[in-house]
Structures are given as C-alpha cells and as structure tokens.
Amino acid sequence: IYRVQSPTALPTFLLIGPSGAGKTAFLTLTERNSAAQTHTSTAPLTIQALLPEGFVPSSSHYRSAGDPAYERARRFLLLDTPGHGKLRHFATARLVNPSNVRGIIFFIDAASVAEDTGLNEAAEYLHDVLLALQKRYTGAKTSKGPKEIPVLIAANKLDLFTALPPHLVKISLEKAVSEVRKSRAKGLKDSGVAMGAEEDMVDEERNWLGEGGEGSFEFRQMEEVGTSVVVKGGNVLGGDGTDVKNWWDWISEQL
Ligand code: GTP
Ligand code: MG
C-alpha cells in the first residue's frame, strides 16, 4: 500500500474578513482562473489550489520545474469563511486550533474602509483575529513558542475610485484597532465581574493587544508574538481585469 499525502496535510491559507470583502470572489478566481458572481457565504468552503505559473514557492527556489518536490510545493488549500457577524465562529474555531494553517489572509474592501462604519467593522474583526494569535503565542507550553502564522491584509477592490490606497488602509486600520483595544479594555473593567484586583490585572494584560502603555497600536508590534502583518493591495474584479499579483507573491513566500 502506498501512502499518498492526504489533502488535509497541505498548507492551508485561511480567508477571513468582513462580509462583502471579496473572500469568495478570490477563492472562485483561484479555482477557475476567472472571476465569477458570488453570493454571501453561510458556510466555510475549502478548495485545493495550485500556485499559478510564474510564482515560485520560497521553499523551492533551488529546484527545477518538473522535480516532484517542486510540483508538490505548489499545492495548498484555501479555506473560505463567512464574514457575517453571526457566522464568524467558523473562522475563529480555526484560529484556536490552527494546525496546518500556513497563513491568514484578512480581506477588506478598501472602499468601505474609507468610511467609519466599514472601517470600524473591519477593525473589530481584525483586532479579535490578532488577539487570538497573540494568545496562542503567549499561552504556548513550549519555550520555543508555536509556529509563526503570518497575516496578509488584502486591501481589495482597488479598481473602485473610492478605494483607499494600501498605505492609508494600513494607517487607518492601525488607528481604528487602537480604538477597539481601548474600548475593549474599558468594557472588561466595566463588566464588573466579581474578581480580585489581581485577577483583574492579569485578565487585562492577557486581553490587551500588542505593547502595553499609552502608545497606539502598530502592526509591527505583532512581530513580538510571532506574527508578521503586511498590507498589500489588489482587486479580484474590475473593468481592467484582475490584479492579485501582490497576494500571489505573498503566498509564494509562505510556501
Ligand atoms: P461573505 O461571504 O459575506 O463573507 O463575503 P465575501 O468576502 O465572500 O465577499 P464576496 O467574495 O462574495 O464579494 C462581495 C461582492 O464584492 C461581490 O458582489 C463581488 O462581486 C464584489 N467584489 C469582489 N471583489 C471585487 C473587486 O476587486 N472589485 C469590485 N469592484 N468588486 C468586487
Ligand atoms: Mg463569501
């Protein structure tokens, strides 16, 4: 009996983010090599994918095409999750137990984050995802710490003229996440759970994202807990076709 590598052992990239950001559109594009109409997701969906021609997995820079190890390294899974507020447990469940998760792609609609409502919704979800990764790191039993899980923030829909450019998406999100962090800390305090002052303190620290102190939150603070966060722009759809090269580059780096 020959053992074939089971598909579940393939590196997985988790597609997370608010509803309407373009997660399923990206999955569909990857699967069919052409964009198609999507509907809002109500369940998670996993597909097997292949890194497109022209992109090289970082583990295979010294291998040649045709080498079986090279071909194998191009394969991965994309796991799409619903962004609706009531359906996020599908995504967060994978964050608690992220075996085989090679990276997280947090999709946002770069046009919607130009407005407060869209920005705040994205920032709340992003805050919770980053905090889950931080807790996973600080709660690890081994001294080495768990395997790193990098995050790509995919600023999608750059074809829309109202879209914020990626560097402003980054600044806006960092600011908005700082605000979420503040209001969550206040919420914890106000919740008045009957706890001793000491327990209160421990809980506060554990639930505080990034560095302590008065400064604002910045994505680079996540490096302390084994998570690199980068923002890269693109568009799955659009009048002039798709542009997802930056995201493929990032995925190649993780493979
Ligand atoms: P949920 O399943 O609700 O979490 O949303 P989702 O992130 O899967 O969004 P989906 O992929 O279904 O896309 C939402 C809408 O945005 C669809 O109408 C897409 O056609 C549209 N869309 C996706 N990507 C782009 C893009 O790059 N540009 C433009 N203009 N529209 C896009
Ligand atoms: Mg969807």
- Atom index in ligand 1 nearest the CA of residue 87 equals 4
State residue 196's pLDDT score.
62
Question: Are 227 and 147 in contact, with CB atoms under 8 Å apart?
Answer: no
Look at residue 110 and tell me if it is in a domain.
yes
Look at residue 41 and tell me if it is in a domain.
yes
State residue 229's pLDDT score.
98
d(CA 211, CA 189): 19
Six token digits for residue 117 = 């409502």
Question: Are 163 and 114 in contact, with CB atoms under 8 Å apart?
Answer: yes
Query: What range does the domain containing 242 cover?
Result: 7-254
State residue 204's pLDDT score.
72
Helix residue spans in 43-87 (DSSP H): 68-73
Testing ligand 1's pocket by substitution, the residue of 31, 236, 242, 247 carrying the most ligand atoms inside 8 A of its CB is 236
State residue 199's pLDDT score.
63
Look at residue 192 and tell me if it is in a domain.
yes
d(CA 243, CA 211): 35
Work out the angle at residue 249's Cα, subtended by the Cα atoms of residues 245 and 253, and round it to the nearest 5 degrees.
Answer: 170
Give nearest CA residue, ligand 1 atom 15.
20
Give nearest CA residue, ligand 1 atom 23.
22
Of all residues in the chain, what percent are helix, strand and coil, respectively (each to 5)?
45, 15, 40
State residue 197's pLDDT score.
62
Beta strands in the chain (DSSP E): 12-16, 45-50, 75-80, 101-109, 151-156, 229-233
Look at residue 227 and tell me if it is in a domain.
yes
* CA 22 to centroid of ligand 1, rounded, Å: 3
Q: Specify the CATH number for the domain of residue 106.
A: 3.40.50.300
SS3 84: coil
Q: Which of these, 232, 219, 225, lies nearest to 153 by C-alpha position? A: 232
Q: Which residues line ligand 1 (CB under 6 A)?
A: 17, 19-25, 38, 40-41, 82-84, 107, 156-157, 159-160, 235-238
- Atom index in ligand 1 nearest the CA of residue 107 equals 7
Q: Nearest ligand, CA of residue 30?
A: 1
DSSP 82: -
Look at residue 1 and tell me if it is in a domain.
no
Beta bridge partners of 155: 108, 233
d(CA 145, CA 140): 6
DSSP 170-226: HHHHHHHHHHHHHHHHHHHHHT--S--HHHHHHHHHHT--SS-SSSPP-GGGGGGGT
Look at residue 219 and tell me if it is in a domain.
yes
State residue 238's pLDDT score.
87
Q: Nearest ligand, CA of residue 18?
A: 1
Along the chain (255 residues), what's the average pLDDT of each consecutive run of 10 residues? 61 97 96 87 94 89 78 92 93 84 97 96 97 89 79 98 97 96 80 60 78 87 94 93 96 96
d(CA 161, CA 167): 16
- Atom index in ligand 1 nearest the CA of residue 81 equals 4
Look at residue 2 and tell me if it is in a domain.
no
Testing ligand 1's pocket by substitution, the residue of 237, 242, 246 carrying the most ligand atoms inside 8 A of its CB is 237
d(CA 182, CA 192): 17
Q: How many domains does the chain have?
A: 1
- Atom index in ligand 1 nearest the CA of residue 160 equals 30
